[in-house]
Amino acid sequence: MAIFERFTRLKSASRFLQYTTALCPAHSWAPTRGPLLRPAGWIQHRCVHGERSEASSAAPPRRPFSQVTPADLDFFRQLLPGRAITDPDVLESSNVDWLKSVKGNSEVLLRPKTTDEVSRILSYCNQRNLAVSPQGGNTGLVGGSVPVFDEIILSTALMNQILTFDSISGILTCQAGCVLESLSQYLEEQDFIMPLDLGAKGSCHIGGNVSTNAGGLRLLRYGSLRGTVLGLEVVLADGRVLNCLATLRKDNTGYDLKQLFIGSEGTLGVITAVSILCPRKPKSVNVAFLGCSSFQNLLETFQACRGMLGEILSAFEFLDASCMNLLEKHLKLTNPITESPFYIVIETAGSNAAHDEEKLHNFLEKVMTSSLVTDGTVATEEAKIKALWSMRERITEALRHDGYTYKYDISLSVEKIYDLVTHMRERLGDRAQNVVGYGHIGDGNLHLNITSPSKDPALLAAIEPYVYEWTSQYQGSISAEHGLGLKKRNYIYYSKTPEAVTLMGNIKAMLDPKGILNPYKTLPDDIC
């Protein structure tokens, strides 16, 4: 409580900050690399609205995979009694992505429970040349987790067992279909937490998180899954099981093969189990929600924050005023502070409440007195922390209510990152309904989202490839954390050299010579 007494004093001194424990309910830059402004064949792709898409993100022609026969169904039904689904009503939701922006036409959904079952499925599909679309919680944003045509959907939903947890090392080993939030709940009971957290935690699967190398809200503190994942079990396209399920912090024996499967979106193998290093549950957590009058002030606040909060800083996220408007309009959330052009969510997580509060207080006093921050509120209780976090976590949901959403997930040096939002607002003018910017400032990752009442090819043409060209010009990444999936595969050359992409194709050909695993995803059409 001491912190609030001090905050009250600070409030009267600065007359700005309301520390509360209760929350109120022309451009035409040509890329120097990459021939893929247009793929070789623009073709029709059946989307949920029944429209024809003529963008580079549209699906290529169906490759010559076999089609599922009654004999195939017999095999699957025998292998997975009651778990080889052909009911169109059940298949409907597995064929469509969360954004309802792409839709496949699969007629078979398989729900294995064990690695052995996955192995038998893939061995059979490989022999029969049947394409397979692996699927976790189906929360991806780039069309990577749904079939494009009639690929068999291989769901990890029933592979949801925790295998081991070592409370000395903090290493958790579990099946790929464990829901992230369930793992978090399990670990909290043991006084640990998952090293990643994201808005889709209630549905996403850890296997899907690893396959897409999901970043999320804690990356700033605990690093990427490339560091925290210690081991993987993966079933290769021909059914071989690759057991790299190590639980060692250090292991330099040869190539680190698991890295190939982290972030490769199920195109190289199906992840069936994961071992992951989990941090101790922090004893003290504080969340501050602050307002800034400019992006420059926000960056300076970030600098001060890193310096003054040091090791207890666990998240530094931002949203702009347009995001706030959407939260208020579509989700009826209430802005807990006065209106500002920018908002910051800062989380501290440490082991000593008094120490953390002292540091946070000193930091807040500095940014308030120097006017970097114009208003703010702090929460230490769980329910209030959750309420503050929802202002950041629920933006994607608010955007979905706003109309058709064009999503861009850019990483770039932080100084330049918001310029893209400003440029796009100027460039698109009234043609766009909303142009919003938010994201993981601490990781140099911007989520630029643009909405229109319905899908608008002219608007899309004004956005792409401009966004990718702009990003590439500043050596940024056109997909910081969401992957490439179906939608962005042909833009890979904006962030990777042709040599690198060719090598990726070689690796794919070696591990999956028939290309049955998640076809039409991640790699560009000229490589597959």
Ligand X SMILES: O=C(O)CC[C@@H](O)C(=O)O
Q: Binders of ligand X among 438-477, rule CB under 6 A?
A: 447, 449
- State the residue number with the nearest CB to ligand X: 396
291, 337 Cβ separation under 8 angstroms: yes
Please give the Cα distance from 519 to 134 (Å, whole number).
10
CB of 189 to ligand X, least distance (A): 27
Give least dist CB 163 to ligand X, A: 28
The nearer residue to ligand X, 447 or 488, going by C-beta atoms, is 447
Question: Under the criterion CB under 6 A, does residue 218 sit at the interface with ligand X?
Answer: no
Instruction: Specify the residue, 359 or 392, whose C-beta has the smaller distance to ligand X.
Output: 392
Rounded Cα distance, 220 and 526, in Å: 35
Judged by beta carbon, residue 424 or residue 516, the one nearer ligand X is 424
Among positions 175, 396, 495, 518, the unique one binding ligand X when judged by CB under 6 A: 396
Residue pair 140/481 in contact (Cβ under 8 Å)? The answer is no
CB of 51 to ligand X, least distance (A): 21
Among 199, 266, 483, 524, binds ligand X (CB under 6 A): 199
Q: How far is the CB of 246 from ligand X (least distance, A)?
A: 29
Q: Which residue type, as a one-letter code, is found at position 272?
A: T
204 vs 245, which CB is nearer to ligand X?
Answer: 204
* Length of the chain in terms of residues written: 528
Rounded CA gap, 509 and 512, in Å?
A: 5
Nearer to ligand X, 345 or 367 (CB): 345
- Is 205 a binder of ligand X (CB under 6 A)? no
**Could you tell me if 481 and 144 are in contact, meaning their C-beta atoms sit under 8 angstroms apart?**
no
- Smallest CA-to-CA distance from 231 within 269, 285, 193, 272 is with 272
- Contact 209/225 with Cβ under 8 angstroms? yes
Question: Hey, which residues between 73 and 112 contact ligand X (CB under 6 A)?
Answer: none
**Nearest to ligand X of 278, 436 (CB atom):** 436
Burial 16-52 (b: 16+ CB within 10 A, else e): bbebbeebeeeeeeeeeebebbebeeeeebbbeeeee
Quick one: 407 or 496, whose CB is closer to ligand X?
Answer: 407
Nearer residue to ligand X within complex by CB, 173 or 314: 314
Phi/psi-derived region of residue 485, left when phi > 0, alpha when psi is between -120 and 50, beta in every other case: left
Structure tokens at 279: 């941090």
Closest by Cα among 404, 395, 428 to 325: 395
Tokens representing 112 are 């294995």
CB of 52 to ligand X, least distance (A): 25
Structure tokens at 213: 């190398």
CB atoms within 10 A of CB 392: 24
Q: Rule CB under 6 A: say whether 407 interacts with ligand X.
A: yes
What x/- string results for residues 145 through 184 when contact with ligand X is judged by CB under 6 A? ----------------------------------------
Output the smallest distance, CB 449 to ligand X, in A: 5
- The answer to whether residue 141 forms part of the interface with ligand X (CB under 6 A) is yes
Cβ atoms < 10 Å from Cβ of 74: 11
Please state the closest distance from residue 482 (CB atom) to ligand X, in A. Answer: 6
Comparing CB distances to ligand X, the nearer of 132 and 436 is 436
Is 373 or 446 the residue whose CB approaches ligand X more closely?
446
> Binding residues for ligand X, how many (CB under 6 A)?
7
Q: How far is the CB of 159 from ligand X (least distance, A)?
A: 24
Distance in angstroms (rounded) separating the CA atoms of residues 520 and 528: 8
Min dist CB 293 to ligand X, Å, is 24
CA–CA separation, 395 vs 449, rounded Å? Answer: 10
- Residue (33 or 330) nearer to ligand X, CB: 330
Query: Both tokens of residue 27?
Result: 């451009």
Measuring CA to CA, which residue among 136, 225, 226 is closest to residue 182? Answer: 136
Q: Closer to ligand X by CB, 396 or 411: give it.
A: 396
CB of 215 to ligand X, least distance (A): 7
Closest approach of Cβ 342 to ligand X, in Å?
A: 16
By CB under 6 A, residue 201 contacts ligand X: no
Measured from the Cβ of residue 237, the count of other Cβ atoms closer than 10 Å reads 23
Report d(CA 383, CA 31) in Å as an integer.
48
Q: At its nearest, how many Å lie between ligand X and the CB of residue 1?
A: 33
Q: What share of the chain is helix, strand, coil (3-state, %, to 5)?
A: 35, 20, 45
3-state secondary structure of 243: strand
Chain positions contacting ligand X, by CB under 6 A: 141, 199, 396, 407, 409, 447, 449
